Amino acid sequence: MSTTFVPRALTRPGPVRTAAGFAVAAVLLFGVAPAVLSDFRLGLLGKFLCFAIVAAGIGLAWGRGGMLTLGQGVFFGLGAYMMAMHLKISDAHLRGDTVPDFMQIAGIRELPAYWVPFASPLVTIAAILVVPPLIAVLLGLGVFKRRVKGAYFAILSQALAAAFAILLIGQQSTGGSNGLNRFRAFFGYDLSDPVNRRMLFFIVAAILLLVVAATRQLMRSRYGELLVAVRDQEERVRFLGYDPATIKVVAYAVAALFAGIAGAMFVPIVGIISPADVGIVPSIAFLIGVAIGGRTTLLGPVLGAIGVAWAQTALSESFPSAWTYAQGLLFIVVIGFFPAGLAGLAALRRRRDDDRGGAPAARTTASGSERDSEPESDPDPESDPEPEMEPAR
Amino acid sequence: MTSPAFGGNAGMSSEYLEIRDLRVTFDGFTAVDGVDLTLLQGDLRFLIGPNGAGKTTLVDAVTGLVPATGSVTKSGVELLGMKTHRIARHGVGRTFQTASVFEDLSVLQNLDIAAGAGRSPWELLRRRKHVLPEIEEALETIGLTAHRDTPAGILAHGQKQWLEIGMLLVQDADVLLLDEPVAGMSGEEREETGWLLRRIGAERTVVVVEHDMDFMRAFATSVTVLARGRVIADGTVAEVQNDPQVQEVYLGSAATEQEA
């Protein structure tokens, strides 16, 4: 994990280019996508955007903070299950029942006590926003204050994802291994209506843009510099008077927040949440897109997650069994040979172009006091919402 | 500008670091065995001794990296038992034998992080808008003004060590513990580092752990010799050099080497 990026001295994207980037992304998501995609494909893209929201958080915690978050399925699952519980209760209320349909079949006549708060939409939304980061903070403090790091943290978080999935499978009151599904309405809006489904896509697209904007601010702030410092030299940061545990916990909690929100949006868009969506396999799948896109960059994880999810859907439609192998192979190749991901390859090519252009020294000369610390390059120039990676000379 | 002097240069008002009966034990092996040491502001103190004498362990104990018994007080505040980052906030800074700057970040970013331990969350969440005056000053002091936007990872070895020292300056440390700052440096870089230590040592308490005897002779105002975890001599360079015990365990061999 010792990828070294030489910061670009000359290509500092100004506020105009950033605003333009967000505008392009908004046009693509709110204008082009609904115009060219069928309702079914738009729903799929909505699901991919959920994964992209998770990926943005992983990019921060793993790429910038060095925490290999192998258990994001837990936070994704918490957000998803809390949303699903609310939807099931409100569906039951619409029919005039007190308990959701699957509980009636299982012979449960009374709502379990832990379901009761989720009857309220406000409590549900608040819990989705608060519970995953809170758990991340508690877990993070317990782990990082004890200076547990590296593989141990990764194993711990993965074990947590496994335990969470096993717990859910055993719970009849969350639908066991079937999970929760067949949702009819989302906060009063009929989910079978294509207009409402399109609105869901717009909501998740807007959340993604907000998440990218928030991540961008975090990465460029002093906190973002500090996070990279902790990743690379944790002890040194300690001797400067900071507690690295606190710094890491913040990034971990933000990643948990994003994953929880993504899970909550996944439920109405996909229409099902089950233990298979939150365990070890999906937790690792979240990482693959991030690794392939380029984990230390802002847009790499987001576009990588969308790209991998798209490839998975496209390929598994035609070669159902081959995809799993292809995915695993891709992951190994990227981690082993291109740890900086596609964004790293783009940066490499740009650097070579620069050198060939006879200006190798330019990278080390001063250009101003607040330029980027990282190349925000992009694996896919065509769908690039933030066109700030062309070499500027 | 005042210079560092034997016994400190700040008189009664000075800041000080007082180490009393410091002991560090690893699994029955005593690495530091009852060290007493008083360090005064404005005294450029060199800590020397053969390999395994406990020099680095002493620095580790003072900065909270290894548990120790005894007492370490800085201007009356007990440091022993505090967490590492708390000790740093009390103004005790250190460097390591291998320069440990943040290689992916620029010189300026390195210094900005070093200056920021007391920042509020609100300040941390915003971007750096301008360069703090103390950072400009430190850049000047360590001679890296022209390299402010250079990634620390591509600095020369000597420049990395100077950046480390600069980080201690903006961190507002008044006790600086430097672990072999000139190891691996060229003669010229050593010379420059020595003068840098002289400049910054005037207003601070600087302790230099060092192996290089010539460097010590040229720049130390006082010397403490450690052997097998104990202080065996303490005084000016001349006093220490004439101490028969020191000649026996340490300088003796160096002196013979020189004569040969």
Residue B3 lies in a domain: no
B13 at A interface, C-beta within 8 A: no
Do residue A240 and residue B167 have CB atoms under 8 angstroms apart? yes
Quote the Cα angle for A200-A203-A204, to 5°: 90
Q: What is the mean pLDDT of residues A205-223?
A: 95
Residue B6 lies in a domain: no
Domain of B113, in residue numbers: 11-259
- Residue A372: predicted pLDDT: 38
CA A325 to chain B, closest CA, distance in angstroms equals 35
- Statement: residue A138 has pLDDT above 90: yes
Chain B residue numbers touching A235 (CB-CB < 8 A)? 100
Task: Supply the angle between the helices A39-58 and A244-270 in degrees, to the nearest 10.
Answer: 170
Do residue A240 and residue B113 have CB atoms under 8 angstroms apart? yes
Compute the distance between CA of residue A42 and CA of residue A54 in angstroms, rounded to an integer.
Answer: 19
Residue B121 lies in a domain: yes
B44: CATH? 3.40.50.300
Chain A residue numbers touching B94 (CB-CB < 8 A)? 239
Nearest to B113 among A229, A364, A371 (CB): A229
Interface of A with B in 303-332 (CB under 8 A): none
Q: Greater confidence, A288 or A350?
A: A288
Q: Greater confidence, B109 or B122?
A: B109
- List b or e across B219-246, with b for residues whose CB sees 16 or more CB atoms inside 10 angstroms: bbbbbbbbbebbbbbbbebeebbebeeb
pLDDT > 70 fraction of chain A, expressed in percent and rounded: 86
Chain B residue numbers touching A217 (CB-CB < 8 A)? 125
- Statement: residue B43 has pLDDT above 90: no
Do residue B104 and residue A5 have CB atoms under 8 angstroms apart? yes
Centre a 10 Å sphere on the Cβ of residue B2 and count the other Cβ atoms it contains.
10
Compute the distance between CA of residue A282 and CA of residue A270 in angstroms, rounded to an integer.
Answer: 15
- Residue B259: predicted pLDDT: 44
When divided into structural domains, chain B yields a total of 1
Centre a 10 Å sphere on the Cβ of residue A36 and count the other Cβ atoms it contains.
9
pTM: predicted TM-score of the whole model, two decimal places? 0.84
CA B102 to chain A, closest CA, distance in angstroms equals 6
Q: Is B135 helix (H, G, I), strand (E, B) or coil?
A: helix
Q: Greater confidence, A45 or A17?
A: A45
Burial of A95 (0-12, 13-18, 19+ CB in 10 A): exposed
CA A368 to chain B, closest CA, distance in angstroms equals 8
Residue B128 contacts residue B184 (beta carbons within 8 Å): no
Do residue B105 and residue A242 have CB atoms under 8 angstroms apart? no
Nearest to B124 among A222, A232, A243 (CB): A222
Q: Which two tokens stand for residue B148?
A: 């402010």
Interface of A with B in 359-378 (CB under 8 A): 364-371, 373-374
Q: Is A69 helix (H, G, I), strand (E, B) or coil?
A: coil
- Statement: residue A361 has pLDDT above 80: no
A12 at B interface, C-beta within 8 A: no
Q: Is B63 helix (H, G, I), strand (E, B) or coil?
A: coil
In single-letter form, the type of residue at position B249 comes to V
Residue A276 contacts residue A282 (beta carbons within 8 Å): yes
- Residue A22: predicted pLDDT: 92
- Residue B116: predicted pLDDT: 87
Rg (CA), chain A: 22
B49 at A interface, C-beta within 8 A: no
Q: What is the mean pLDDT of residues B102-126?
A: 90
Nearest to A223 among B110, B125, B167 (CB): B125
Do residue A233 and residue B96 have CB atoms under 8 angstroms apart? no
Residue B124 lies in a domain: yes
CA B255 to chain A, closest CA, distance in angstroms equals 37
